[in-house]
Amino acid sequence: MRELLKSGAILGTVFFLQTAQALTFTPQGVAGEQHVAHVLNDQIKPNLIHLPPDEQKRLEHVEITVSTQLRLSGMALSLAEDKPEIMINAEYFQGLENYVEAYLIGRYTQQPHLPEQYMNYYFWHTHPVFDGPVPKAPMTWAGFQPADRIDFLEARDQLLANAVLDLLLHEIGHHAKDAFYHYRASQYMKQEKEEQADRWARQFRANYLPDESELGRLLSIGFIFERDRWSRLADDGYHPRLLEWVVDNAYAQCEDAEQIDTLAFCSELNANVDNYSSTEKAENAYRARVEAGEAYASFPLALILLQEQNIRAACRHFESSLRVANVSRAAFYMGQCYEEGMLKPTPPDSRVLALLAYQDAVQYGYSDAQESIEQLR
């Protein structure tokens, strides 16, 4: 017995020497990427020695970066080729980071809709039509000053680390199990390989990091949900639509949830997804929020009314979302509303008011309002 343990320990050391080089992370200067290094070095790498030798071998030369080159291809990408790689999409990563902070502010201040409002601001301020400064972080945007700042920041970093851990383990799972596919592979084949990576990630957590919060994956799901909802409301095609992924993963993740914060997250997400399932439900939900006094809800309500061709009512809600909730994008729509004569044309005339509204929108950074101004002139 003693001998066995001893040789086991020696074997472990040998593999550790090999895997010390495994999963190399190279910083690219993307904000927040130190969280990736931290999760890799503190949580993942120390456990690699427990993996079967063939898995250790496959992970040996994997290089990890947070890449700004991926733009719209999802959350992360794993490549198997002579130079095996994991690339985390920087755009996704920064969105997630901000979402996590907004989510936590919402929880601290008991404003469950705060993340939605912040993400609306964020997605508009990172959209190609926007030509202005980078969006403010949620704490600055919300003017949030926690009673215990250190405690809040720790909780935020912890949550972000959870989300990063979830993402990394899935990608590492692709490499450990050699679970790759051609982009033209059948849907069945893709699903099979994705599940293989997921199973590996789940097993790794259960074996070596059993005390980690269950929220990690849910935060990714919540973020992608917000992005999908935003795209649909804005009737915008810039981001890929991933609602199916959201629904499948939320279901799988929430089914076995036990922790209190996870259950709360799941019930909020389920309610949101349910409201998202039909325009009528979404309209009613936002209407109820407006009636309960939430000024921001006027903006998504207006977007829905606009899609329903209920222009006059839409314009009234755009107006109040700009005046009361400072939703800057509403200025652009108000320009359209004045142009169409849908807001009361008191003097000066509606054309002048339309120009003024578009000018406001340009001031806020929306370059498409400039085109509207040129067309009006």
Scan residues 330-359 and list those touching Zn ion (CB under 5 A). none
Of 242, 211, 203, give the one whose Cα is nearest residue 225. Answer: 242
Scan residues 142-171 and list those touching Zn ion (CB under 5 A). none
Query: 119 or 219: whose CB is closer to Zn ion?
Result: 219
Query: 3 or 81: whose CB is closer to Zn ion?
Result: 81
Whole-angstrom Cα distance, residue 28 to residue 38?
15
Measured from the CB of residue 219, what is the shortest distance to Zn ion in angstroms?
17
Query: 61 or 190: whose CB is closer to Zn ion?
Result: 190
The backbone region for 324, taken as left when phi is positive above 0, alpha when psi lies in -120 to 50, beta otherwise, is alpha
Measured from the CB of residue 97, what is the shortest distance to Zn ion in angstroms?
20
Q: Which two tokens stand for residue 376?
A: 């009006």
Scan residues 31-90 and list those touching Zn ion (CB under 5 A). none
Whole-angstrom Cα distance, residue 119 to residue 122?
5
Residues 376 and 339: beta-carbon distance below 8 Å: yes
Query: 62 or 302: whose CB is closer to Zn ion?
Result: 62
Scan residues 218-277 and list those touching Zn ion (CB under 5 A). none
Scan residues 281-300 and list those touching Zn ion (CB under 5 A). none
Could you tell me which residues are beta bridge partners of residue 366?
130
Measured from the CB of residue 86, what is the shortest distance to Zn ion in angstroms?
10
Whole-angstrom Cα distance, residue 2 to residue 74?
49
Q: Which residues contact 176 (CB under 8 A, 6 or more apart)?
A: 51, 55, 58, 59, 200
Query: 63 or 194: whose CB is closer to Zn ion?
Result: 194
Measured from the CB of residue 170, what is the shortest distance to Zn ion in angstroms?
6
Scan residues 357-376 and list those touching Zn ion (CB under 5 A). none
> Which x/- pattern over 183-212 shows residues binding Zn ion (rule: CB under 5 A)?
-----------x--x---------------
Measured from the CB of residue 147, what is the shortest distance to Zn ion in angstroms?
40
Query: 167 or 297: whose CB is closer to Zn ion?
Result: 167
Whole-angstrom Cα distance, residue 141 to residue 106?
13
Angle formed by the axes of helices 330-339 and 368-376, nearest 10°:
20
> Which of helix, strand or coil describes residue 87?
strand
Measured from the CB of residue 364, what is the shortest distance to Zn ion in angstroms?
38
The contact set with Zn ion (CB under 5 A) reads 194, 197
